[in-house]
């Protein structure tokens, strides 16, 4: 019975994570349709104001339809014209959708050097699905978050990433009820870096590094394409 319950939790967690990535792919399709005319192989990318307004509308639609806390597209900096922002990111602020501002001056101590961050290096450099965190985004949205990204490819060329932020408490809202169905109601979703994303195991809070599997627990692989996520679950 416990094996069956744990298998069901694996399946439900996997399906929820896949649905999140499906929502990112959907908004990416909308973003690409908007920016395609402005992405040329031999020129800096410059997105005009009218197209940026369309990007905002696509982001707003996403945030109205899904539970993410922020969404947008981020280009590799060297590809962009000086007149066009490399980051287009919008966040939920109560009932409003606002554009998130970042410091892009390399000389500033608040410079948002996103190209060095896991979510950009995975989505752009490795051209792969990536879940970064949980982490505190001090220079971005300044909250405890996870960031989910996929490559942004236009005319066969990867130019950046499309992604979303989900606060840890947002992820918990959806995954904790699933984890409580596990054997003895003790389980945790663990990322590829062995860090706990969400958990119902008291000593293993979100963000904890699981260096060794605790006695009486086992790691079960989640069925999520391209990601080696695992479910840590009580077995005895």
At 205-230, the pLDDT tens digits run 999 999 999 999 999 999 999 999 99
In sequence order, the β-bridge partners of residue 91 are 70, 98
Name the phi and psi angles at 155, rounded to 5: 55, 40
Question: Which residue matches tokens 């973003």?
Answer: 31
CATH code of the domain containing 138:
3.30.450.20
88 closest CA partner among 102, 107, 69, 109: 102
d(CA 104, CA 108): 8
Q: Is 176 inside any structural domain?
A: no
Residue 203 lies in a domain: no
159 Ramachandran zone, left/alpha/beta (phi>0; psi -120 to 50): alpha
236 belongs to a structural domain:
no
Question: How many residues are listed for the chain in this entry?
Answer: 236
Q: Do the domain assignments include residue 209?
A: no
pLDDT band with cut points at 50, 70 and 90 for residue 113:
very high
CA distance 131 to 118: 8
The answer to whether residue 189 sits within a structural domain is: no
Tell me the two tokens of residue 103: 């410091």
pLDDT at residue 74, as a whole number: 97
Q: Which domain holds residue 18?
A: 13-169
Cα separation of the two ends of the chain: 12
Residue 188 belongs to a domain: no
Number of domains in the chain: 1
pLDDT tens digits, 14-59: 999 999 999 999 999 999 999 999 998 778 999 999 999 999 999 9
In a domain, 114, yes or no: yes
pLDDT band of 1, cuts 50, 70, 90: low
- 219 within a domain of the structure (yes/no): no
């Amino acid at each position: 019975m416990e094996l069956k319950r744990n298998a069901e939790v694996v399946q439900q967690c996997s399906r929820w994570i896949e649905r999140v990535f499906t929502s990112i792919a959907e908004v990416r399709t909308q973003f690409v349709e908007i920016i395609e005319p402005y992405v040329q192989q031999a020129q800096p990318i410059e997105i005009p104001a009218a197209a940026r307004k369309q990007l905002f509308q696509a982001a707003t639609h996403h945030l109205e339809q899904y539970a993410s806390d922020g969404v947008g597209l981020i280009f590799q900096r060297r590809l962009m014209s000086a007149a066009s922002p490399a980051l287009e990111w919008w966040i939920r602020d109560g009932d409003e959708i606002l554009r998130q501002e970042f410091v892009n001056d390399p000389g500033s101590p608040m410079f948002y050097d996103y190209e060095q961050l896991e979510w950009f290096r995975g989505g752009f450099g490795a051209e792969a699905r990536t879940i970064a965190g949980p982490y505190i985004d001090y220079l971005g949205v300044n909250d405890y978050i996870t960031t989910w990204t996929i490559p942004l490819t236009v005319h066969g060329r990867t130019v950046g990433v499309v992604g979303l932020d989900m606060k840890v408490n947002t992820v918990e809202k959806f995954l904790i009820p699933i984890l409580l169905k596990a054997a003895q109601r003790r389980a945790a979703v663990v990322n590829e870096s062995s860090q706990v994303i969400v958990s119902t195991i008291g000593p293993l809070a979100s963000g904890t590094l699981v260096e060794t599997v605790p006695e009486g627990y086992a790691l079960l692989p989640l069925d999520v394409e391209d990601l080696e996520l695992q479910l840590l679950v009580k077995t005895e």
